[in-house]
Amino acid sequence: MNRRQLLVSLAVLPLAARAADKPIDGGPFVPTPWVILEEMIKLAEVRAGDVVVDLGSGDGRLVIAAAKRAGVRGFGVERDGTLVNYANRQAAAERVGERAKFVQGDVFEADLRNATVVTLYLLPRLVVKLVPKLRAELPAGARIVSHDYALKPWPPDKTLIFDVEEKQNINGTTQTTLYYYVVPARIGGRWRLEAGASLIDGPVTLEIDQRPDHLEGLARIGERTAVLRDLAVRGETIRFSVLHGSRLVDFRGKVSGTTMAGEARSRGDSAKWSARVD
């Protein structure tokens, strides 16, 4: 977990929607302060080709700001119809109406399959309930940034803590925490692995238990069982090691749906390996 302390000045960003800091006719809401919004976009490494989804999008400021970056598209899901209408008008006013859309709906019903970045500033009970949906629907490698509330029990890849004076009026403290996550490939289950005979002679069965806060696995090689050492998955990238006889074999590769493949190494020897869901 990476932590860094920042003291952030409240610079005014050039977005016409700043007027939405005030409550709109649909009732009061808690907008993300501008400087925090900018840090969320930076932390998510929003770039050309991304599809940004803001769950609980309010006045639309985050999606609009992201869409103003070249090549970025996005949409927001908000339950308040008045805010949705306002956000769509603001997107048109900022000349990104074709790339920034807002819909009225339930965040738990949002289609996240094409999203590459998801942002959220929701009540903690909602954030926790969203964890299964986020991990099941988002593609491997998608990035998530949650403002103030962690996606428990999923440990974040990074945590950014800084002070913003404007937050004092929101929750009585200047401290802001942003939690950053990279969605891992889904590797839980049984896999049939094959590698070069010079490293492992014969087929191998992998049994992997993957949960938000837990990842472990076993390799069954003939009659012998070995623990998968240093098992880790980040986005589509996977790594693990297997002790085979007196040799520790290191595996590195990429996951693609029901297959994965890469290169294995041990004591200067190397071979291609592949695995398929069994």
Q: How far is CA 181 from the centre of its chain?
A: 4
Burial of 38 (0-12, 13-18, 19+ CB in 10 A): middle
Q: Which of 125, 153, 182 is the last residue of a domain?
A: 182
Q: What pLDDT, on the 0 to 100 scale, is given for residue 6?
A: 36
Q: Is 169 helix (H, G, I), strand (E, B) or coil?
A: helix
| Final residue in a domain of this structure, among 182, 214, 235 | 182
> In terms of domains, do 172 and 203 share one?
no
Length of the chain: 278
Looking at the predicted structure, is the pLDDT value of residue 2 above 60?
no
Identity of the highest mean pLDDT range in 146-155, 165-174, 197-206: 146-155
Are 48 and 142 in the same domain?
A: yes
CB 210 within 8 A of CB 187: yes
> Which one-letter amino acid corresponds to residue 94?
E
What is the Cα–Cα distance from 199 to 241, expressed in whole angstroms? 12
Mean pLDDT of the region 131-145: 97
Residue 210: pLDDT over 90 = yes
Mean pLDDT of 234-239: 98
Mean pLDDT confidence for 155-172: 88
Q: Tell whether 147 and 250 lie within a shared domain.
A: no
Q: Are 86 and 24 in contact (CB under 8 A)?
A: yes
CA neighbor of 256 nearest in space, from 274, 272, 278 = 274
pLDDT tens digits, 72-119: 999 999 999 999 999 999 999 999 999 999 999 999 999 999 999 999
Same domain, 199 and 83: no
Q: Which domain holds residue 237?
A: 189-277
Is the per-residue pLDDT at 145 higher than 50? Answer: yes
Q: Assess whether 34 and 162 both reside in one domain.
A: yes
User: What are residue 117's phi and psi, to 5 degrees?
Assistant: -135, 135
DSSP state of 213: T
The CA-atom distances, in angstroms, between 154 and each of 131, 141, 182 are: 8, 15, 11
Domain with 138 in it: what CATH number?
3.40.50.150
Of 182, 207, 233, the domain-final residue: 182
Give me the percent of the chain exceeding a pLDDT of 90.
Answer: 76
Pick from 93-102, 195-204, 264-273: least confident:
195-204
DSSP letters of 217-258? EEEEETTEEEE-EEEEEETTEEEEEEEETTEEEEEEEEEETT
Separation of alpha carbons 127 and 41, rounded Å: 19
**Same-domain status, 219 and 270:** yes
What CATH number is associated with residue 226?
2.40.128.20
Q: Report d(CA 31, CA 127) in Å as an integer.
A: 17
Specify burial of residue 78 (Cβ count, 10 A radius: 0-12, 13-18, 19+).
buried
Tell me: do 177 and 266 sit in the same domain. no
Distance, in Å, from the CA atom of 190 to the CA atom of 89, rounded to the nearest integer, reads: 50
Same domain for 98 and 193, yes or no, is no
Whether the predicted model's global pTM rises above the 0.95 cut: no
Rg (C-alpha) for the chain, rounded Å, is 22
Q: What does the alpha-carbon distance between residue 221 and residue 206 come to, in Å, rounded to a whole number? A: 9
Q: 90 phi and psi, to 5 degrees?
A: -65, -40
The total of structural domains in the chain comes to 2
